[in-house]
A and B are shown apart, each in its own frame.
Chain A
Amino acid sequence: MRLKSVRDSSLLELNARAGAFVAACGYERRSVALSSLITGAPEGRNALCFSEWPDALGRKDNERQLLERGFKLHGVGGNESKRVESLVADIATTTILAGAAVGFDISSMTRAWHGAIIRQFRTMEFDTECETFFAYAPAQFRRPPLRSLPNEFVAPVDGFASLSTPDLPVAVVIGLGYERERALGLRQLLDPEKTILMIPNCGDKDEYYPEVLRSNKDILRRTHQEWVFEYCISEPAATFATLISIVAGLRESYRVVLASLGPKVFGLLSFLLATRFADVSVWRVSSGIHAQPREAHADLDQLVVIDAIWEPSSRTTGSR
């Protein structure tokens, strides 16, 4: 399928139109917060349960809550994309053929899972348009960890590696997060000719914003101001339009890499965008085995829902 449109949506629409809903079950309390608000899809509730850290923090209680809410649980490794693709294919095929939409809570999912979901929709084919909802509940603010973790995995996400020959310089678009040194490390590794930084900023009450600036002071100082953009996570459609504009302008002269180190909604938008431009790579940076469980509580007041419509590939032509 080919991505037709991306627009801001709401929980109301998701509940009204989703015939299936896929959440994640991990150790953070956030992973089950949204499931309590899901009123639709009684027969199509599924949760991808992390194989890692099965007893950490609130994991057991999260499983119990999801089971009580009628979710089927599927064990999956945080880096496993093939298994997620397979599960999504099964769930989506039934749901879409029944004329319903598929909803996802991406809040606690890994970027590998995000990529697998988008990749599956990108490669499936139906005769009609299909609709997907992606809900994201940001975590309530906590200060960034004092100790920065080593990077074990810095590479393209499965299915989002371009094979473009290296005859153009690299430009990297980094969605900044508040973990120190991540962005600078990625930049030093990729050694791009151009770096574009995207900073989440949702106004005066956004507690993350000053932390993001503080944690990325060095890379911000070393990046031209004209290539630093701010976006608000509660306006995903506008952010998506900005990203398209930036990437479309860059790809004539650069091989573009998108990397999300911050809010997961930016990562999801990166994957959606890469379905439009096959020459764009999406990378992830992961601490792998070095990551330690860290609690996160959902801030449901900031809930974001994205509505993405897919159309049959045959209706439109491909990209470059």
Chain B
Amino acid sequence: MEVFQTVKTASIYGAFNARWLEPEDVARSFVPTPPFKSLVRLQNSLLMGPRGCGKTTLLKMLMRRAQRVWKIERAPREPQWTDYRSPDFEAVYVPSDVRWSSELESVSRELSEFPIDAERVQRASVAISCVIEASRIFQAIADENRLDPAEFLKGLIVHLQLGPTVPSFREVRLKLLSWVDEIHSGLIRRDVGAIRGHLDRLPSSLTSHALSAVTRACMIFEEYAQHVAPARWALCFDELEIAPPWLQAELFAALRSFDQRFLLKLTWSPVLPTDLTPRQERQHDYAAIRMWHGHAADAKPFCKEFSTRFIRDKFENTSITPRDVFGPSPFAEEEMDPDQGYGRGTPLWRAMVQLAQRDPSFRDYLSEHGISPEDPVVDSVSLRDESLRKIKPIVLLREAYLKDAGDRVIKRSRKSAPLYFGEESIYAMSEGNPRLLRGLLNELLDLDTRPSIEGSPFVPPPAQSRVLFAASQRMLTGIKTYPIQRRAKSLSLSGLVERLGQFLNAELVTQDFNADPVGSFIVDEDVRQDVLDEVSVGLLIGAFVHVKSRESDIPMSVIGSRIRISYMLAPSYKLLFRNYRDYRLSTALRISTSHQRLMFRPEGA
């Protein structure tokens, strides 16, 4: 059998998904970000962002077990985080995932003729899961305070109507799980009578409002363990965006009015559910916390901190930096010595001279700006900043992917020197998404590194470029295979991404040189509903990113929002890590077909 090199995940930094990490390990690898400061406030919160953007990490960091590690192991040694305070509430984390969500959804299919029973089954499952998670918190508080939980457990058994149950946390949880098993057994047999019988015998709190059972359990704890009970609880529901609609509706309604002792910390996709939360109430009822970055520079501080910790953990070296291991990206504009970066004979100077020889539109651009195409040197700092610095990434891209063919310029078919590598490229492609960043770093560092001139481990650019391109392609696969029901002739998400990716590539590479190309799209009112649906899915899974203009800018609906393609897809479509100017999406889609015809002119045609 062919042997494949496997990806290793050797440490807590290597784990791909915080959901599977224990809270203690989440705390050990946690890099605080501004959203966490908002999340710990005594208010309801809606954590918004695409899959993998770190919502679960933040929710888990609210938990007692994570906070304990933070306070003991991290805070004393890392004074730079002192302004990140701990929560003044007891967090109950209610997990969820695609598997569970799909299984709850399958109950509706199984009992399609009995929708009320189907919803009651889902309610019981959710309520039981909540109480089980709360019981773990009660147990942790009791253990930490050396409290005998017997009286509380007896109270819980009585008031939650658990029936004859040994008063131990384990037995309480097993009893609750046995009820799920009984309902499941009825579902397998499609025995609605039996299911209904089980549901009718359950305590009413398990099949009523989504929060009834868990809040009652917390209140029982408060009564029986007054001296150790918290003043406030935070009920943290993960992955609410894929939860059953009734659960979404009830939790959003609870944001507006619920018992003041209970805070809600919910996760959601990047677009606010306007049908569930009227706009005028948002500011007062809850804080919407955005978990994505519209601009590459916004994500850089987090990425740099995370990558530094990751690399130092990996190489057991406390001074090594991501710059040592990956070098700078050729697209990076800051930190460049103007004379070194733009002067005569530099790589950029050479790229401009070569491009100007082959690309008449670029030659014209230079001439129009008073820059010699044969010797593009600019002495004026302002002109240099205004012109050369701005066009540098476009020049590098065009130079790499264009070649001349007589009187025309066409796409280059041969392999070019790698462009997608370096620290900034890795950060941009990760979108500041910890799961993506972990994945990229794992794969990059899984390659054989070689010592740099300074002696640090170094991953050569061609190797980085291969890994980043493969990651980009993998994301395209994820987009292509993401399941979605649609009409046969509607535009798929992958079709939409493909058309927009090619459109943007044409703007940068195959059309005439433009220093201010289109790089993002306004989702306008002329966009068809099926495309809007795909854009929503794309925002959820990270294929598209909402480009904000202000910190407080949260998209209220897909229509009207400004979006761009994920930077992760940049190597696949030969795009840059810039948003540039926006363009109407409906117009872009309308003309993209003709764009594609232009782009794919065969060589010599």
Contacts and interface: CB of A to CB of B under 8 A. Distances in A.
Contact of A281 (B1, B3, B99, B480): B99
Contacts of B16: 191
Interface in B146-189: 177, 180-181, 183-185, 187-189
B183 A163 contact: yes
Interface string A81-96: 0100000000000000
A42 interface: no
Contacts of B99: 166, 170, 190, 255, 257, 281
Interface in A216-272: 217-218, 220-225, 230, 255, 257
Nearest to A193: B20
Contact of A151 (B19, B180, B481): B481
Interface size class of A (residues with CB under 8 A): 35 or more
B181 A161 contact: no
B477 A155 contact: no
Contact of B480 (A122, A150, A158): A150
Contacts of A164: 100, 103, 180
Nearest to A230: B1
Given A165-B177, A225-B6, A278-B185, A158 B485 contact: no
Contact of B478 (A119, A170, A188): A188
Contacts of A201: 1
Contacts of A230: 1
B97 to A, nearest CB: 5
Given A161-B103, A166-B100, A184-B477, A221 B5 contact: yes
A290 B489 CA distance: 10
Given A163-B125, A167-B129, A189-B98, A152 B477 contact: no
B356 interface: no
Given A163-B103, A257-B99, A185 B480 contact: yes
A211 interface: no
Given A166-B100, A170-B99, A181-B477, A155 B2 contact: no
Contacts of B100: 164-166
A282 B392 CA distance: 52
B187 A163 contact: yes
B483 A153 contact: yes
A70 B320 CA distance: 77
Contacts, number: 148
B231 interface: no
B336 interface: no
B298 interface: no
Given A167-B129, A189-B481, A278-B181, A155 B6 contact: no
Interface in A151-188: 151-156, 158-159, 161-167, 169-170, 181-182, 184-186, 188
A220 B484 CA distance: 25
Contacts of B183: 163
A162 B110 CA distance: 12
Interface string A33-53: 000000000000000000000
B132 A165 contact: yes
A148 interface: yes
Nearest to A227: B6
B226 interface: no
A167 B132 contact: yes
Nearest to B493: A150
Contact of A193 (B6, B17, B494): B17
A122 B103 contact: no
Interface string B248-290: 0000000000000000000000000000000000000000000
A201 B6 CA distance: 21
A261 B483 CA distance: 15
B102 interface: yes
B381 interface: no
B343 to A, nearest CB: 43
Nearest to A257: B99
B461 interface: no
Nearest to A162: B103
A144 interface: no
B19 A169 contact: yes
A128 interface: no
B474 A218 contact: yes
B160 to A, nearest CB: 16
B109 interface: yes
B328 interface: no
Nearest to A156: B106
B81 interface: no
Interface string B5-24: 11100000000110110000
Q: Most A CB atoms within 10 A — which of B96, B97, B103?
A: B103
B105 interface: yes
Nearest to A186: B481
Given A221-B4, A290-B488, A165 B19 contact: no
Contacts of A184: 474, 477-478, 481
B600 interface: no
Interface in B59-108: 95-100, 102-107
Contacts of B483: 150-155, 189, 285
The 9 closest A-B pairs by CB, nearest first: A185-B481, A161-B106, A154-B483, A166-B100, A188-B478, A169-B20, A193-B20, A221-B4, A165-B129
Given A181-B481, A221-B4, 17 more contacts: A123-B188, A123-B189, A148-B481, A151-B482, A151-B483, A156-B106, A162-B103, A164-B100, A165-B129, A165-B177, A166-B100, A185-B478, A185-B480, A190-B98, A191-B17, A191-B97, A225-B4
25 contacts: A122-B188, A151-B481, A159-B110, A159-B190, A163-B107, A163-B121, A163-B125, A164-B180, A165-B129, A166-B97, A166-B100, A169-B20, A184-B474, A186-B481, A188-B474, A188-B478, A188-B481, A188-B482, A191-B97, A201-B1, A213-B2, A218-B477, A221-B5, A224-B6, A283-B102
Interface of B: 1-7, 16-17, 19-20, 51, 95-100, 102-107, 109-110, 121, 125, 128-129, 132-133, 177, 180-181, 183-185, 187-190, 470, 474, 477-478, 480-486, 488, 492, 494
